[in-house]
Amino acid sequence: MLHNLYIVDDDEAVRASLCRLVSRQPDYVVRSFPSGEAFLKQFDELEPGVVLLDFHMKGANGITVLNAIRAISQRFVVMMLTAHGAVHRSVDAMKAGAFDFIEKPYDSAALMMCLDLAFAELDKLSTEVGGRDAAVARLALLTPRETEVIAGLAAGYSNKQIAWTLQISPRTVEVYRANLMVKLNVGSLAEALQLVFVAEQAIAA
C-alpha cells in the first residue's frame, strides 16, 4: 500500500532533507510544496495522505493551513513541524487538529516512527469514513416515511409514540419498521440504530 506524504515548508533545505529521508522508504510517494498556498491550490487533486506541515511560513502559516484542511476534508492526517522549544505553538497545533508535532531539528528515527503512527491513523480514519458512507447509502434506500419511523426509534420513542407523532396507526408503524429492517439488511433494532448513529457522524463531519 502506497503512503502519500505531503511536505509543506517554505525552507527549501528542509524540504530537500525531508524528501531524501522519507524517499528511502519503498512505499512512500512524496510531494513537497514551498508554501501553504501552493498546497491548498492543489488540495482537491491530492490523494488522501499525511501532511508534514511547517508551523512558521511566510504567507499562510501552519495553523491557517491546518484550519483550511479541517474545514474542507477529513482525508488528511496532519503532523506539524515546530521550532525547538516552541511549546505554545505545539499546543495550538494540537488544539487545531494536528495529529502530532515534531520539533526542529528533528531526529530521523523519531520522525519516521511518528509518520508510521500517522499513517496508521489515516488507515483508521479511512475505514471509519468508509463505514459512515456505507451507512448513509443504506439509509438512503428508505422511503421518507420509513426514515421518519427510524428517526423516531433512534430518539427512543415507542411505536405508539411514533404513530401519534406521524398520525398513523401503531400497526402501520410496525409495517414500516419491518420493511426498513429488510431494506437495511439488519437482524435487530440495535443494528438498525447503529447505522443511524454512524450516518449522523458522517453528517456532522
Portion of the chain with pLDDT greater than 90, in percent: 43
Q: What structural domains does the chain harbor?
A: 3-130 (3.40.50.2300), 140-204 (1.10.10.10)
**Res 86: pLDDT:** 59
Long-range CB pairs of 168-174, under 8 A, 24+ apart, other chains included: 173/149
In the predicted structure, residue 46 carries a pLDDT above the cut 70:
yes
Mean pLDDT of 120-130: 81
103 grid coordinates? 520539533
Task: List, edge to edge, every strand of the sheet that includes 3-8.
Answer: 28-33, 3-8, 49-54, 76-83, 100-104
Q: Are 160 and 118 in contact (CB under 8 A)?
A: no
Higher pLDDT pick, 118 / 59: 118
The whole-number average pLDDT for the span 97-103 is: 84
Contact by Cβ (8 Å): 21, 47: no
Q: Give the pLDDT score at 123.
A: 86
State the pLDDT at residue 42: 92
Q: Are 104 and 14 in contact (CB under 8 A)?
A: yes
How much is the pLDDT for 164?
96
Report the mean per-residue pLDDT for the chain.
Answer: 87
For 64-86, what is each residue's pLDDT tens digit? Answer: 999 888 887 778 999 988 876 55
| Helices 12-22 & 108-139 angle (0-180, nearest 10) | 80
What b-and-e string marks burial along 102-128, b requiring 16 or more CB atoms within 10 Å of the CB? Answer: bbeebeeeebeebbeebbeebeebeee
What is the model's pLDDT at position 95?
Answer: 76
pLDDT digits (tens, 9 = 90+) for 137-174: 899 999 999 999 999 999 889 999 999 999 999 999 99
Which CA distances in Å does 146 have to 37, 64, 143, 165, 179? Answer: 46, 43, 5, 14, 8
